[in-house]
Amino acid sequence: MGGLFSALKALFFSKRLEVVLVGLENSGKTTFCNQLEFGSSDIEDPPTVGLNVRVMKRGGISFKVWDIGGQEQYRKEWARYTRGMDCVVFVVDTADRDRIPTAKKELHRLLDDPALSTVPLLVLANKVDLKNVVSESDLIRGLNLDYITDNQWLVVAISAKYGDNVPQALEFLLRHAR
């Protein structure tokens, strides 16, 4: 009887979270997804072509993660996949200083969609394990995050490769589960 009750409780009372990962190509979106799902980034993944969808469980929360390709031809499609999500995760390669302006342009183009006006935004400042990375304050300025007032946002400096600060990113996501 206890097993049946536990199964019913998990079916009807577990929390759900739908998240979309966007960011320029090679920023580390899939590596972050691997850390969430497997607790490791040892999996060799080619660049995402189009999108990947993964469903995973963490504790009592069921995650559906949409990992969208960051190549230029896919960026116009980001808005289509971000609508209806509980959280948008924007991944930035902090070691690639020259591409911060492009990341800013793409992020603000995405957030111009009125359907996203109140969706929480998690900015992952990835690859902090490398040398000469953009600081958190410079990234906030570089992406013009101070001008985002409708969306709750947070920047978390991570190394998706080594798992550094991934639990803090996960904590932000879990706060937005339904």
**Residues in binding site for GTP:** 23-30, 70, 126-129
Is 91 within 8 Å of 126 (Cβ atoms)? yes
Quote the tokens at residue 40.
């490791």
Three-state secondary structure call for residue 122: strand
Is 81 within 8 Å of 68 (Cβ atoms)? yes
**Residues in binding site for Mg(2+):** 30, 48
Q: Which residues of 132-169 are buried (b: 16+ CB within 10 A; e: fewer)?
A: ebbeeeebbebbebeebeeeebebbbbbbbebbbbeeb
Distances (CA, A) of 138 to 16, 28, 101, 108: 34, 19, 12, 17
Is 164 within 8 Å of 2 (Cβ atoms)? no
**Residues in binding site:** 23-30, 48, 70, 126-129
